[in-house]
C-alpha cells in the first residue's frame, strides 16, 4: 500500500470494508454482468465489444446493458420460484413479476414477457410501455399509493390482471369506475405488516409511519377487506406485502409472510371467501460493492416456499399461489455506466489527501449516492495501470458538493483525463431517476450482445431537453 502521496501527506484511509487489491486492474466478477471481462490490455469488454469502441461510437456517459445477462437473470428467477413452489411439492405455483420501476422500456418489457415473467407497473406511462411492447394485460399489475382516475380507467381498458389497492379511498374510486364500465376489477390489498427491513429509511416500506399500504395493526387492512368483499364490482384475489429494498436478511420476509398469511386466514374465515394469491413483493438485495452479501436466488425461493408451507399448515389453510416482484435483482447487475474522466484533483483533508476523479456524468444519471447514501464500485476501463493502487472518489460535473458517484474505491494512481471509468450495478433506478440538473441531457441505454449494440433508450438531445421552454429555439441539434 502506498505510504504517502505528495511528500509527507498520507492518502485518506480506505473504509474498513474495502479490501486492498492484489491487482488493481482485476475485476471482482460478482459485481459485473457475466459477459463483462477485461482483455490483456486492460480494456473492459462486454459480450466481446471493447468499451473503447463503445465510447468512440456512442459517446459517454452511457448506460451499457449486457442483454444476455439480463435475460438469464429473468429466467433464473422464473425457474427458481417455479421449482420451489411447484404443485409436485404440494404447493400452488408461483409467478414472478418484473418490477418495471427499476428500469423499463419497450425492449425490456418485451424480454421480460418472453422470459415468462409478468410485469409490475405503477403509473399510466409504465402501463403504456407494457402495452406497446405487446405484454398481455393479464400479465400486468398496477401499483401506486395515489392512482388517478385516468390510471385506473386505463388499467381496466387494458385488462390488467391485478390492481394492488393501497387505500380505502382507492376502493371507492375503483368501485365507481368499474361500475360505470359494467366490469369487475381484479383486486389485491397492499398490507403494511409492521416489518421494517434492515435497509435505508427511505427505502424501507413496511413500517407504519409511511405512505404505502393498509395497516395491519390499526385494523385498516381488515376494514379494506370487508369493503372489497362487499363490492359487486371488485374481485378479491389476494393480499400483497412489500417490506423494503436492497434486503440481505431473509428473516424480514419470513415474518412478513407469516403475518400476511395469518390475515388471509382471518379474512377467509370471517367472510367465507377464498383468497387464491399472496404477493410477497420484492426488495432482494444485490452486490454493489464487496461488502454486500445477497442471498442466492434458489436459496431465497426455497426458504420462502418452506415458510409459506409451514405457516399454512399451522393455520389449516391451503397454500396460495405466491408471487414476487424482483426488479433491481434482475436488471441492476446487467448494466454498467461508462464515463470519461475530465479532471483529476488531489485535495488536502484532515485525514490526508483525497483524489477526486471527475467524470462527464454524475447525479443527473445516478442520483442514488446522494439520495440513498448508496455505495458503488468502479474500474479503470480503457487500459491497464502500472501504478500503485490509490483511494479515489468518482464525482460528477454538477454544481453540487453531493454530486458523488463512487465514494471510495481503489484505482491505479495514474488515472488521468481521457481515461474511461466503468461503474457496475447501475441498471436499476439510475436511468429512471435521471434528471436534467444544470440542464444536462439524460444518457441513453445501449443494449449489447454478441451480435452488436443498439439503443433501447436513445440519449436525450439538447433539442429534446429544451423543447419544453417556449423561449428556446431548438431547431438545431447540439
Please check if 372 is assigned to a binding site: yes
- Which three three-digit cell numbers place residue 133? 411492447
Let me know the angle formed at the C-alpha of 74 by 68 and 76, rounded to the nearest 5 degrees. Answer: 100
Catalytic annotation on 399?
yes
Contacts of 53 (CB under 8 A, 6+ apart): none
Q: Record the cell numbers describing residue 284, joined without a space.
A: 432482494
Residues 6+ apart with CB under 8 A from 468: none
In angstroms, the first-to-last Cα distance of the chain is 45
Q: What share of the chain is helix, strand, coil (3-state, %, to 5)?
A: 30, 25, 45
CA 44, CA 14: separation in Å to the nearest integer? 25
CA distances from 44 to 11, 296, 334, 430 (A): 27, 26, 14, 21
CA-to-CA dists, residue 392 to 61, 338, 358, 405, 418, angstroms: 19, 17, 10, 11, 16
Grid coordinates given for 128? 403504456
Judged on CB neighbours under 10 Å (0-12, 13-18, 19+), 71 is: middle
Whether omega for the bond prior to residue 61 falls within 30 degrees of 0, making it cis, is yes
Q: Say which DSSP state 89 is in.
A: G
Taking the C-alpha atoms of 265, 267, 272 and 274 in order, what is their torsion angle to the nearest 10 degrees? -70
Q: Is 368 annotated as a binding residue?
A: yes
Return d(Cα 142, Cα 122) in angstroms, integer. 5
Report yes or no: 175 and 233 within 8 Å, Cβ to Cβ.
yes
Query: How buried is residue 17: exposed, middle or buried, by Cβ count under 10 Å (0-12/13-18/19+)?
Result: exposed
Phi, psi of 331, deg, nearest 5: -95, -30
In the set 105, 312, 378, 399, the catalytic residue is: 399
- List, in order, residues 6 or more apart from 281 with CB less than 8 Å away: 240, 241, 242, 243, 256, 324, 325
Name the region of 47 (left: φ>0; alpha: ψ -120 to 50; beta: rest): left
Q: Which of 313, 314, 292, 430 is nearest to 361 (CA)?
A: 430
Active site residue ranges = 399
Residues of each annotated binding site for substrate: 328, 368, 372, 400, 429
- Which amino acids are annotated as binding site for pyridoxal 5'-phosphate, given as ranges? 283, 325-328, 429
User: Which residues belong to the annotated binding site?
Assistant: 283, 325-328, 368, 372, 400, 429
Amino acid at each position: 500500500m502506498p505510504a504517502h502521496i505528495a511528500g509527507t501527506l498520507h492518502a485518506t484511509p480506505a473504509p474498513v470494508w474495502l479490501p486492498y487489491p492484489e491487482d488493481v486492474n482485476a475485476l471482482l466478477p460478482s459485481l459485473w454482468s457475466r459477459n463483462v471481462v477485461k482483455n490483456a490490455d486492460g480494456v473492459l469488454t462486454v459480450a466481446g465489444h471493447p468499451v473503447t469502441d463503445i465510447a468512440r461510437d456512442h459517446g459517454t456517459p452511457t448506460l451499457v446493458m449486457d442483454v444476455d445477462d439480463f435475460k438469464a437473470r429473468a429466467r433464473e428467477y422464473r425457474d427458481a420460484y417455479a421449482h420451489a413452489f411447484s404443485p409436485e411439492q404440494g404447493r400452488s405455483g408461483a409467478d414472478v413479476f418484473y418490477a418495471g420501476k427499476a428500469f423499463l422500456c419497450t425492449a425490456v418489457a418485451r424480454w421480460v414477457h418472453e422470459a415468462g415473467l409478468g410485469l409490475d407497473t405503477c403509473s399510466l406511462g409504465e402501463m403504456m410501455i407494457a402495452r406497446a411492447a405487446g405484454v398481455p394485460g393479464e400479465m400486468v399489475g398496477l401499483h401506486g399509493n395515489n392512482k388517478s382516475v385516468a390510471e385506473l380507467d386505463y388499467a381496466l381498458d387494458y385488462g390488467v390482471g391485478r390492481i394492488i389497492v393501497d387505500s380505502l379511498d382507492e376502493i371507492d374510486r375503483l368501485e365507481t369506475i368499474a361500475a360505470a364500465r359494467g366490469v369487475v376489477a381484479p383486486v389485491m390489498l397492499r398490507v403494511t405488516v409492521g416489518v421494517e427491513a434492515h435497509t435505508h429509511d427511505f427505502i424501507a416500506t413496511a413500517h407504519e409511519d409511511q405512505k404505502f399500504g393498509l395497516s395491519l395493526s390499526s385494523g385498516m387492512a381488515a376494514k379494506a377487506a370487508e369493503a372489497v368483499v362487499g363490492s359487486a364490482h371488485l374481485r378479491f384475489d389476494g393480499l400483497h406485502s412489500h417490506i423494503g429494498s436492497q434486503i440481505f436478511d431473509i428473516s424480514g420476509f419470513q415474518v412478513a409472510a407469516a403475518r400476511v398469511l395469518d390475515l388471509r386466514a382471518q379474512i377467509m374465515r370471517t367472510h367465507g371467501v377464498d383468497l387464491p394469491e399472496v404477493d410477497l413483493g420484492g426488495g432482494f438485495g444485490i452486490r454493489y460493492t464487496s461488502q454486500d452479501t445477497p442471498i442466492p436466488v434458489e436459496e431465497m425461493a426455497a426458504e420462502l416456499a418452506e415458510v409459506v408451507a409451514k405457516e399454512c399448515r399451522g393455520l389449516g389453510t391451503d397454500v396460495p399461489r405466491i408471487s414476487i416482484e424482483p426488479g433491481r435483482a434482475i436488471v441492476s447487475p446487467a448494466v454498467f455506466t461508462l464515463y470519461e474522466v475530465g479532471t483529476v484533483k488531489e485535495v488536502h483533508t484532515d485525514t490526508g489527501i483525497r483524489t477526486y476523479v471527475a467524470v462527464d456524468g454524475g447525479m443527473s444519471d445516478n442520483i442514488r449516492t446522494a439520495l440513498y447514501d448508496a455505495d458503488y464500485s468502479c474500474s479503470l476501463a480503457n487500459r491497464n495501470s502500472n501504478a500503485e493502487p490509490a483511494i479515489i472518489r468518482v464525482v460528477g460535473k454538477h454544481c453540487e458538493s453531493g454530486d458523488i458517484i463512487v465514494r471510495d474505491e481503489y484505482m491505479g494512481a495514474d488515472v488521468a483525463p481521457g481515461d474511461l471509468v466503468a461503474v457496475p450495478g447501475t441498471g436499476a433506478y439510475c436511468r429512471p431517476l435521471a434528471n436534467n440538473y444544470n440542464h444536462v441531457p439524460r444518457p441513453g441505454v445501449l443494449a449489447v450482445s454478441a451480435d452488436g449494440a443498439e439503443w433501447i433508450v436513445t440519449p436525450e438531445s439538447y433539442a429534446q431537453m429544451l423543447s419544453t421552454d417556449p423561449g428556446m429555439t431548438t431547431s438545431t441539434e447540439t
